[in-house]
Structure 1
Amino acid sequence: MRRPRPVTAVLAAVLASLLAAVLPPGPAAAGDGPPLPARMARTGGGTQLITAEAPGARSTTGTVSWWDRRGGRWVRVGSTAARFGANGLVEGGRRRQGTSTTPTGLYRLPYAFGIDAAPPGTDVRYRRVTRDSWWCQDNRSRAYNRWVEGLPRDCRASEAEHLVTYGRRYAHALVIGFNYARPVRGRGAGIFLHVAGRGPTAGCVAVPARAMRRILAWADPARRPHIAIGTVSGPTALTRY
């Protein structure tokens, strides 16, 4: 014959079952499931990847992480807080110039640049900003979405960035290959991964200065690094790219 359970034990069991029915399950342990790059549709074909992820399309903050593919697996090397456009993020193919939105998608990283010298260990091609360095954003110019030394006659200064005037924000930067290979006029120009200022960006992705230096020292052009920009879920989710 079974002995009756103590009253305290019975009450504890009832309380536990009630709590389980009312409270949501706890968060999954960190590291559960495949890493983010392994869940993406494409990563660019290389063995290095930067992901820039925002909680939603209207977010102006999020996370930048950089990854190595080692032994067939993606391993996160570093992670940092990030800032996005003042008006959030939008699908790269639908972006319009002057909207202060960050374009989502998967992009190459053509080269790096900066007002300061390249950080030690930098292997990516690096251009040093001079007093004559501009980024042309004039839709009527033949130099649209290109670095120019000396402003061309067909590129208005009001439609260009005089790079040296951006101070610490352009101390170090990577060009994001959005609308770069075959520029579409009106889609946008001058999208970079650069050092963060005090607030959101005009469409770039920005990270703290120390993280920017680490990324430049980490990036290896022989491993074909790309950057993927997107949201946690929805039509602009990183896993779509």
Structure 2
Amino acid sequence: MRLIAAAAVLLPALLIGLLTVPADAASVRLDGVTVRLRPGTSQVVTANRTHGYHARVTLWVREHGRWTKRFSTSDGRIGYGGLSRSTQRHQGDGTTPAGTFDLPFAFGTHHRRPGWDMAYHRIRSGDYWVGDNSSRFYNKLRNKAAGGFRWWLPESDDNGSERLLAHRSQYEYAFATGFNAEQVRHRGFAIFLHVNGRGATAGCVSAPRSFLQMLYRRLSPQHHPVIAIGA
């Protein structure tokens, strides 16, 4: 009887989030968020704004033509300014850009560990994400020793860059996103997926530390992972 009861509980749980879509589909809606699929994408992180700066963050995996929910947290966060259209966002407005963005690599404070398949950068002293609108390295990872941007400007300045080790707890585990890969000046920089801080973000998506650790173990470049943000 216990086995039958357990099966009755597990079966609905396994079916939740199952969605079959054509193999050549250009987009899919997962948890109410429209995902613009890349060729070969079979891993998607969705961030669905629920209220205020709160969001539900979920990992989806496509297997045998079906999208299946694998992990989800209701304790996700977005920017204090809410959501904005990615093409209308302005640097410093505190909004999180809506849309689908690549997850090109991970970065953090730990040495690389077995089982982390994504490209990985361990943060070192002097690493910044460039917010200097006059720099050709705008919205790029750059060490101050390499020069090419005004790293000495305070982060609060209109051209200030983000010193990564100043946010050690949030960036213990983090992923860069493809937002503003075109380096459009004043649109914004340093939009990441990272560990929760105390409240809203300044435009990133954040989730509990355990959720980021799980993504480190699960995401792989072979699956062309993306993050889709919406409501």
Which AA in structure 2 matches 1:209?
Answer: R
Secondary structure, counterpart of 1:203 in structure 2: coil
Checking the alignment, whether the CA contact within 8 Å between 2:17 and 2:68 is kept in structure 1 is no
Secondary structure, counterpart of 2:165 in structure 1: helix
Write out aligned runs for 1:116-195 (5 A): 116-118=110-112, 120-150=114-144, 152-157=147-152, 158=154, 159-180=160-181, 182-195=182-195
Q: CA RMSD in A?
A: 2.2
Pairs aligned (count): 200
Establish whether residue 111 from structure 1 lines up as the match of residue 105 from structure 2: yes
Task: Give 1:206 shift.
Answer: 0.5
Checking the alignment, whether the CA contact within 8 Å between 2:47 and 2:76 is kept in structure 1 is yes
What runs of 5+ residues in structure 1 fail to find an aligned partner? 1-28, 232-241
Establish whether residue 63 from structure 1 lines up as the match of residue 56 from structure 2: yes
Instruction: Look at both structures and tell me which one has the larger radius of gyration over its CA atoms.
Output: 1
Checking the alignment, whether the CA contact within 8 Å between 1:119 and 1:217 is kept in structure 2 is no
Distance 1:76 1:32, change over 3 A: closer
Distance 1:136 1:33, change over 3 A: closer
Distance 1:117 1:96, change over 3 A: same
% of aligned pairs identical?
Answer: 36
**More helix, by proportion:** 1
Q: State the alpha-carbon separation in 2 of the partners of residues 32 and 68 from structure 1.
A: 10
Q: State the alpha-carbon separation in 2 of the partners of residues 41 and 156 from structure 1.
A: 35
Task: Give 1:118 shift.
Answer: 3.7
**More strand, by proportion:** 2
Cα distance per residue 1:48-73 (max 9 Å; x no partner): 111011036xx200111011101100
TM-score by length of 1: 0.77
Q: State the alpha-carbon separation in 1 of the partners of residues 188 and 162 from structure 2.
A: 13
Q: State the alpha-carbon separation in 2 of the partners of residues 109 and 90 from structure 1.
A: 19
Which AA in structure 1 matches 2:197?
Answer: G
Which AA in structure 2 matches 1:215?
Answer: L
Q: State the alpha-carbon separation in 1 of the partners of residues 69 and 96 from structure 2.
A: 23
Secondary structure, counterpart of 1:94 in structure 2: coil
Task: Give 1:84 shift.
Answer: 0.4
Checking the alignment, whether the CA contact within 8 Å between 2:55 and 2:77 is kept in structure 1 is yes
> Which residue does the alignment assign to 1:91?
85
> Which residue does the alignment assign to 2:42?
47
